[in-house]
Structure 1
């Protein structure tokens, strides 16, 4: 074989090898990763997700794997999607905590290029152990496999509307009347979702604009009994943890107690939580669905990155958010908090944005939607 032939063969082999290597690297995502332009996404985020976005593992995966940095600014879900002052040209996304907020965003002139649920957290009610025991005695709560379920929510609501005193249900050391306290529904998502759930419970099904008038007086009466309401679910949860009897029945997200236990994992704190705090799961409850709303073409890249199974696993194992990505298991044994169900089996849909506007207008007549 002459020299020219040998060179030709070697060149041909090099070309073939290059093609194979290119295909392999392309399929494996290596070339794609190298070619990705680094992007910073700026947006508003519900306070309950700020800890997740500050997690070093999340930051590292987003940076190294997806070439993404997030510039997150804390804001209540209702405020961020309705407030025109938050519609700056430099804003890439809004990350509220329920899908009704997507409707509100669009109905108030927001242009959503993409909207997708990143993860979920059911609405729960936190309480001290003695309050849970009293509700068990009344038949309002039952315990199955160490999980506390509210099986008679209408009865619990009736206690609050009727002005029942804590001492009347054998809790004389708690002053005042029975209240299920939440954040302000006109500003914060957890309160907003709870009032949607409350309307459904009072109606007996998902309430609509055609049926809401029948329950608005009861909702208004309930709201008027609550007094001052915080605007941040994180702030009110911190107060609850410091002294659970400050808010004997507190609406919150399931992930809040899980995340707190992870961040405060010493044996004393875990034992305190197991002994003194109970998580009550309403039957039915509603999802806090955490949809990401993006307002420009590059936004799909952020959605895809946050739905990465690695990030979804971190969201559950280190922050207690239930995954929206197929194949990612939410294993309760990963957590030291007691009473976590592996699957949430009783879910009711939120009322529509139009119905929620009618509820908010009823409890706050001067509120601008």
Structure 2
């Protein structure tokens, strides 16, 4: 059957309108920007503990689908919201490891568009099997019915302040005075969060300026006892694994760090578990603090990154491959059996952090 020129023209017009309408509809869907060729390069700073997550090929594919190419540089959470040398580089987004950093960013004049918590990870203590065994004997570590090891951090801090030797804590494999090491609280978030937790435990409440005056010297003594402190949570964790029991008996870190390390090579972890040498162990301070990871967008284009990071796909990858909990501190998938027994489904005993002004004064004191 022959088609008239008029009908043919109307058909082409209809296809054109449909194509235009389809394009306009797709243009408004951020997850399809990559398919349309709409590519945007974003520059920003991130905490080092999230570097492997963003380097994950499956994570990169989702971000690429949003038409984004990321130029990320690692910086301490405190540094990225305070240091003029970093802020003068005009980052389009910041991804620190504490919600307090949002307030600090505003205080430093950063023009924030959005700030949404994307990931969560509780502060934990990393140590070694012989240390755990000793602390169990002296009552500083107890096990839940699920086999999760919980640490009485207040009792440990009191012992450190009293100058107790490791042997007094039941750890005969170590010599000298007991200590726990965190990152530099003036540069890195895990040390920053630990400083707030220490002051809260010493004061017995969420500390204010009065509590800082009363208990600040004790908090300072805890940090002075650490000696040299790393500027990065990732570097400290690497030093812990490389140094072993003698060099790094107890450090402060994020829950996700050991999970991520195990999942990178489950067979390596199985060999370590089967060996007779000291193996890494994780203790959950009771109480602890949650380290929220808010994405701070400065440039409008960075809003698209926020959309990508909060998709169910990336939230699942964050937990199952990298050990990050979701925005509410909940699990977002099933982990492999290699780490399943290490992780509590919920963190039930959590303290709030002191206000930003108290934290800034605390950090100045413990870093002096």
Q: TM-score, length-normalised on structure 2?
A: 0.88
Alignment-derived partner of residue 158 in structure 2: 158
Q: Which residue of 2 aligns with 1:252?
A: 253
Task: Describe the superposition over 1:36-84 as per-residue Cα deviations: whole angstroms up to 9, x where unpaired.
Answer: 6211110111111111111111111111x21111101111111111101
Counterpart-to-counterpart distance in 2, 1:326 and 1:282:
16
Deviation at 1:212, TM superposition (A): 2.2
Does the 8 A contact of 2:141 with 2:150 survive in 1? yes
Partner Cα separation in structure 1 for residue 165 and residue 329 of structure 2: 46
1:257-316 per-position Cα deviation (integer Å, ceiling 9, x unaligned): 0111112222x4334157722211112211111111121222211111111211111111
* Unpaired stretches in structure 1, ≥5 consecutive residues: none
Q: Does 1:317 align with 2:311?
A: no
Q: Which residue of 1 aligns with 2:194?
A: 194
Task: Report what 1:80 is aligned to.
Answer: 80
Partner of 1:45: 46
> Partner of 1:121 in structure 2?
121
Q: CA shift at 1:362, angstroms?
A: 1.7
CA distance change for structure 1 residues 110 and 18 in 2, over 3 Å: closer, same or farther? closer
**Is the 8 Å Cα contact of residues 33 and 39 (structure 2) preserved in structure 1?**
no
Map 1:76-225 onto structure 2 (within 5 A): 76-88=76-88, 90-144=90-144, 145-150=146-151, 152-225=152-225
Partner of 1:363: 366
Aligned to 1:278: 281
Contact 1:270 1:337 in 2 (8 A): no
Q: Secondary structure at the match of 2:209?
A: coil
Change (3 A) 1:208 1:328: same
Root-mean-square deviation (CA, aligned residues, Å) is 3.1
- Give secondary structure in 2 for the equivalent of 1:85: helix
Secondary structure, aligned partner of 1:211: helix
Residue 288 of structure 1 pairs with residue 291 of structure 2: yes
Matching residue of 2:57: 56
Does the alignment pair 1:347 with 2:350? yes
CA drift at 1:255: 0.6
Kindly indicate whether the alpha-carbon contact (under 8 Å) linking 2:321 and 2:335 is maintained by their aligned counterparts in 1: no
Show CA shifts across 1:117-143 (max 9, x none).
110111000111121122122222211
SS state at 1:215 partner: helix
